[in-house]
A and B are shown apart, each in its own frame.
Chain A
């Protein structure tokens, strides 16, 4: 390796783009969140005033914001464990020596991940339809009552969670499958010779060996699920009764519908802080449990 001025020709274009169109806006967002940037400031910058932390204070006493945060936490708290459970279940089955047609099944199970979110949300909106949706038809066939999935404030978020799990589980499934394949086969053979049951082998070999991967998957999935937006935008438009308004949906409306750009920046920053805090908490809990 040698020091070279030519190196800058290789990195400068990418760094310039990332600097100007990512780092600069992130720093500016922090600054903007301390101003009352609104539609008047958009028209004429002389209407802009510094308001210190007042946007944050306003948000923290605003019921719609807390409602959006509550909805998002609900989505994360239920959606992430469910999503990882399905990923782990399918990864374990695919990793089993008994499984057949592995490459085909792996591709099929992964397919929803690469589909376009908006397009598949349109499909699911129809599957969830109260009057002629297939899900209600299937429930009726086994004697259960019809539910107005996307029209009932109690069921709209669970419906979105089911959809999100279907869309996303394949991603973590692939990562967990790679983690399972990295566990040495000898460990299982030794345990089998000692007479360990399948459940015990899972409990004392698979889970501990997989826990670093599970930790990482958990952190990435939580961060991703906090960014819920397109699902409610397409399937429920935040309704019914605001039951599916997420933090990002709230930010989108605050910023690009009402043009309260200062307040929207504060929402974005709060979301970032929350994700950061939850990630730190996850790392702390897992290190206390002795992972890594």
Chain B
């Protein structure tokens, strides 16, 4: 059963997942860019899998291309679930 999509729930999953891709936990904020966090396109593809497993929300390649910041990713998932 997928977790209900709320901005807070998505933010927690994203924040929790990013350190496994090498992001420094102290640097993860909504405003941080993935480039600054050294999170690359393969990492984002993997993050989208984690989101799909958790929330049942599928992000397409086009969606991922538009994401620049951590906040963008959270907002994208919330908007796709709506």
Q: Do A and B belong to a common assembly? A: no
